[in-house]
C-alpha cells in the first residue's frame, strides 16, 4: 500500500494510477485545471443548452438529484444561470432521512420551482438486495446504485428529453482516468455493462423485481440519443465554493443536527443516516474511507496542510458512526454481532492485522503513511 506523495490518497483505491514520482492521477488532473480556459468551457455549456433548449415550454433537460449540495448546484446552474427548464428525478432509498436531507429535498422544488419525480424502490426488495450485496460483496448499495443510473435515463428517454445533467466525473476527479470529456456516455455505458442481472436472479430476486436496474435497450437509446453530461467539465468542481452558492438558495448542512464519526465535514452525503455505513465499508477493504477522501481533496485544493490531513486521517478515518450503524442494522434486521461477523471477512489481510482482537493497519503500512 502506497500513499500519494502530494495528497495522501492510497493506491488501494480501485483503479488508482500513480506516476513514477509517487503522485496520484487525481493530483495530476487537479494541476491541469489551472491551464483550462473556464470561460471557454462555460460558452460550450451554453451552446449545448441552446441545442436542447425548447421554445414550447416543455422540459429541456433531466437532472438526476439526491437533494444534496451537488443537486442544488446543478439545478442552480441549469435553471438560474442557463435558463433551462429541468425535470428532476430522484431514485430514493428507504433508509431514515436526516432532517436536513428532508428539507433539502423539498427545497429543490420550493426554491427553484422545478417539477420533481421520486422513484422509490419497493422497501421489501431494497431490504433483500441490500442484505445480499452487503453480505456477499461488502457493497450494500450495489443494486440501488445501478437503479440510480438506469431509472433516470429510462425516464428521460420516455419523456423524450435527451439532455441529462450529472455533477462530477468522479473517475477524473478521483484520478482513475487521465482522460476528460464532457460526455458521461462512456461512464454510463460502463455502469450498464457492469450490471450483473444473473447475480440477482440467482439469489431469489425475481425477474419482476429487477426492472429498476435493467438498462435501456439499444433501440431506445438510438431513438432518443440521450446526451448525458458532467457539469464538472464546465465548472471547476469545488465543494466549498458550491456550498457557499447553494446555502444562499436554502441548502442546509448537518451542523445543527449530527456530528458524524469518521467524517470531517457536515455537508456531503447527508441525506440518509445509514449511508455512512456504505462509505465506511471502504475502510476494511481498502484501508481508507471518507476522511481520507476529503482530506486528500482539501490538500489538493490547498485548504489543508499535509500534516493537518495526516492528523485528521489518523484520528477519524477508521471510525464507523454509531447512529449510522444503528439505522443500518435496524432497517436490515441484523444484530450488532451479526453485522460485525459479516464485516470480519472483508478485512483486507494484506494491509490489516488483528491485534488483541482488533483489526489495525499493519505496522509497515502505518510507517509508510507516516513517511509522507
Ligand atoms: Zn495525490
* 242 CA from centroid of ligand 1 (Å): 22
299 alpha carbon to ligand 1 midpoint, in Å?
9
Q: Is the Cβ–Cβ distance between 64 and 90 less than 8 Å? A: yes
What pLDDT score was predicted for residue 173?
A: 86
Determine phi and psi for 239, rounding to 5 degrees: -65, -35
- Please report the pLDDT score of residue 104 as a whole number: 96
What are the pLDDT digits (tens) for 307-320? 999 999 999 999 99
Distance 136 CA to ligand 1 centre (A): 31
Residue 129 C-alpha to ligand 1 middle, in angstroms? 35
CA 372 – CA 369 distance, rounded (Å): 6
| Spatial contact of 152 and 195, defined as CB atoms under 8 Å apart | no
Q: What spacing in Å lies between the alpha carbon of 270 and ligand 1's midpoint?
A: 25
CA of 171 to the centre of ligand 1 (A): 14
Give the distance (Å) from ligand 1 centre to CA of residue 194. 27
CA of 123 relative to ligand 1 center, distance in Å:
39
Cα of 174 vs centre of ligand 1, distance in Å, is 9
Q: Decide: helix, strand or coil at residue 92.
A: strand
**Which pLDDT value is given to residue 168?**
92
CA of 297 relative to ligand 1 center, distance in Å: 8
What's the distance, CA 327 to chain centroid? 20
Q: Find, among 260, 291, 288, 289, the residue nearest to 273 by Cα.
A: 260
- CA–centroid distance, 7 to ligand 1, in Å, is 4
Q: What angle do CA 161, 40, 30 make, to 5 degrees?
A: 95
- Long-range contacts, 325-334 (Cβ 8 Å, 24+): 325/274, 325/277, 327/95, 327/96, 327/273, 327/274, 328/95, 328/140, 328/274, 328/277, 331/94, 331/95, 331/96, 331/127, 331/274, 332/127, 332/130, 332/131, 332/134, 332/140, 333/127
In this prediction, residue 22 carries a pLDDT of 95
* Distance of CA 210 from the midpoint of ligand 1 (Å): 38
What are the mean pLDDT values of the chain's consecutive 10-residue runs (372 residues total)?
A: 95 94 95 94 98 97 96 97 98 94 95 96 97 97 96 97 95 88 95 96 97 96 95 92 94 95 92 95 97 96 95 97 97 98 97 95 93 90
Q: What CA–CA distance (Å, rounded) separates 88 from 267? A: 21
Ligand 1 centre from 89 Cα, in Å? 34
Residue 128 CA to ligand 1 center (angstroms) comes to 38
Beta bridge mates, 361: 352
Distance 11 CA to ligand 1 centre (A): 10
| pLDDT (tens digit per residue) in 108-167 | 999 999 999 999 999 999 999 999 999 999 999 999 999 999 999 999 999 999 999 999
**pLDDT on residue 174:** 85
23: which residues sit within 8 A by CB, 6+ positions away? 4, 5, 6
- CA 175 to ligand 1 center in whole angstroms: 8
Q: Quick: pLDDT tens for 186-197.
A: 999 999 999 999
Report how far ligand 1's centroid is from the alpha carbon of 6 (Å): 5
Amino acid at each position: 500500500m502506497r500513499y500519494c506523495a502530494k495528497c495522501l490518497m492510497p493506491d488501494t483505491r480501485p483503479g488508482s494510477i500513480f506516476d513514477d514520482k509517487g503522485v496520484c492521477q487525481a493530483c495530476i488532473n487537479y494541476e491541469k485545471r489551472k491551464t483550462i480556459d473556464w470561460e471557454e468551457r462555460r460558452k460550450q455549456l451554453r451552446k449545448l443548452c441552446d441545442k436542447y433548449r425548447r421554445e414550447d415550454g416543455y422540459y429541456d433537460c433531466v437532472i438526476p438529484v439526491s437533494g444534496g449540495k451537488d443537486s442544488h448546484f446543478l439545478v442552480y446552474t441549469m435553471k438560474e444561470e442557463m435558463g433551462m427548464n429541468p425535470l428532476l428525478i430522484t431514485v430514493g432509498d428507504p433508509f431514515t432521512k436526516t432532517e436536513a436531507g428532508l428539507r433539502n429535498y423539498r427545497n429543490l422544488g420550493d426554491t427553484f420551482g422545478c417539477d420533481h419525480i421520486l422513484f422509490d424502490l419497493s422497501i421489501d426488495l431494497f431490504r433483500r438486495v441490500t442484505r445480499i450485496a452487503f453480505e456477499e460483496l461488502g457493497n450494500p448499495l450495489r443494486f440501488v446504485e445501478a437503479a440510480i443510473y438506469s431509472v433516470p435515463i429510462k425516464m428521460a428517454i420516455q419523456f423524450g428529453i435527451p439532455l441529462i445533467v450529472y455533477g462530477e466525473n468522479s473517475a477524473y476527479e478521483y484520478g482513475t482516468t487521465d482522460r476528460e470529456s464532457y460526455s458521461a456516455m462512456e461512464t454510463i455505458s460502463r455502469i450498464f455493462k457492469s450490471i450483473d442481472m444473473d447475480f440477482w436472479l440467482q439469489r431469489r430476486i425475481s425477474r419482476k423485481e429487477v426492472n429498476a436496474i435493467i438498462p435501456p435497450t439499444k433501440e431506445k437509446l438510438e431513438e432518443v440519443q440521450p446526451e448525458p453530461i458532467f457539469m464538472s467539465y464546465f465548472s471547476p468542481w469545488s465543494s466549498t465554493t458550491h456550498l457557499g452558492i447553494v446555502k444562499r438558495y436554502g441548502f442546509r448542512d448537518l451542523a445543527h443536527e449530527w456530528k458524524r464519526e469518521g467524517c470531517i465535514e457536515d455537508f456531503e452525503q447527508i441525506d440518509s443516516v445509514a449511508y455512512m455505513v456504505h462509505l465506511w465499508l471502504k475502510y476494511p477493504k481498502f484501508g481508507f474511507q471518507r476522511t481520507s477522501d476529503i482530506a486528500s481533496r482539501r490538500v489538493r485544493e490547498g485548504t489543508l496542510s499535509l500534516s493537518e490531513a495526516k492528523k485528521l486521517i489518523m484520528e477519524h478515518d477508521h471510525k464507523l458512526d454509531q447512529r449510522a450503524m444503528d439505522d443500518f442494522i435496524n432497517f436490515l434486521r441484523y444484530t450488532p454481532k451479526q453485522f460485525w461477523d459479516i464485516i470480519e471477512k472483508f478485512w483486507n489481510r494484506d494491509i490489516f492485522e488483528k491485534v488483541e482482537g482488533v483489526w489495525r493497519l499493519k505496522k509497515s503500512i502505518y510507517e509508510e503513511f507516516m513517511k509522507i
